[in-house]
Chains A and B, each alone.
Chain A
Amino acid sequence: QEHLQESGPGLVKPSETLSLTCTVSGYSIGSGFFWGWIRQPPGKGLEWIGTIYHTGTTNYNPSLRSRLTMSMDTSKNQFSLSLTSVTAADTAMYYCARSEQQLPENWGQGTLVTVSS
């Protein structure tokens, strides 16, 4: 099955923008499926962030919608997340995943993002 790998800065300052990229190998993201992000604050439960369909259509968690943008670059087989105006509450392990509709099926290993000055 396909392999997903998250990348991005591990440290972001408060009020700045958190940007992460997920690189997919073994499957062309423009061919199908939903591609999404999930996060897990330290010691807490998982939170669904959103998905982007292979056509570019997005679905965002309403709690994050005002700060969130997801995009995809099929030429690089990557999809990305941008979260603006971050606070300490955005500190979390961020996972990307290939989803069937809104069901995450195959996950990346995750990347820890800390929001701190």
Chain B
Amino acid sequence: DTVMTQSPATLSVSPGERATLSCRTSQYVGRKLAWYQQKPGQAPRLLIYDASTRAIGIPARFSGSGSGTEFTLTISGLQSEDYADYCCYQYYNWPPTFGQGTMVDIK
């Protein structure tokens, strides 16, 4: 299976600042990489798919980049509602796999 490695495990960011999250895949996944946001007690919400395309209704402060095996999620101007867990997901190789997540908390 494709192993997804996210870093850091926890990221402390002040409100209004930028958060940069990394996802590395053990095998090539092209641009078939998505990012989800998950808050306690809630279902994951799709933020980004195909590495850089924002899902419907996702604010422009969320952006994704990368291809191949290295990907980045950037949250510009962190807002209170953005403190959450973020995980990456590849759907290029079989079976699809998720990363373990990065928790973004308040600095």
Indicate whether B95 reaches chain A with its CB closer than 8 angstroms.
yes
Instruction: Report the nearest B residue to A6, measured CB to CB.
Output: B43
Instruction: Report the nearest A residue to B34, measured CB to CB.
Output: A103
The listed residue (B91, B95, B100, B101) touching A103 by CB distance below 8 A is B91
Q: Is the CB of A107 within 8 A of B44?
A: yes
User: Can you list, as one digit per residue, whether each of B80-107 has a CB less than 8 Å from chain A (1) or not (0)?
Assistant: 0000000101010011111111000000
Q: Is the CB of B98 within 8 A of A45?
A: yes
Report B98 CB to chain A, min CB distance, Å.
4
A45, B99: Cα distance in complex, Å: 7
Indicate whether A104 reaches chain B with its CB closer than 8 angstroms.
yes
A110, B46: Cα distance in complex, Å: 15
A101 contact set on B, CB distance < 8 A: 91
B45 contact set on A, CB distance < 8 A: 107
Contact of A103 with B98 at beta-carbon distance under 8 Å, contacts A46-B44, A108-B43, A109-B43 already known: no
Q: Is the CB of B43 within 8 A of A95?
A: yes
Contact of A45 with B101 at beta-carbon distance under 8 Å, contacts A103-B49, A107-B43, A107-B44 already known: yes
A103 contact set on B, CB distance < 8 A: 34, 46, 49, 89, 91
A103, B91: Cα distance in complex, Å: 7
Instruction: Report the nearest A residue to B50, measured CB to CB.
Output: A103
B94 contact set on A, CB distance < 8 A: 62
A62, B43: Cα distance in complex, Å: 24
A61, B34: Cα distance in complex, Å: 18
Indicate whether A85 reaches chain B with its CB closer than 8 angstroms.
no
Q: Is the CB of A109 within 8 A of B96?
A: no
B34 contact set on A, CB distance < 8 A: 103
14 contacts between A and B (CB under 8 A): A45-B87, A46-B87, A46-B89, A47-B98, A48-B89, A61-B95, A63-B95, A95-B43, A95-B44, A103-B46, A105-B55, A107-B43, A108-B43, A109-B42
3 closest A-B pairs by CB? A107-B43, A46-B98, A45-B100
B residues bordering A, Cβ < 8 Å?
34, 36, 42-46, 49, 55, 87, 89, 91, 94-101
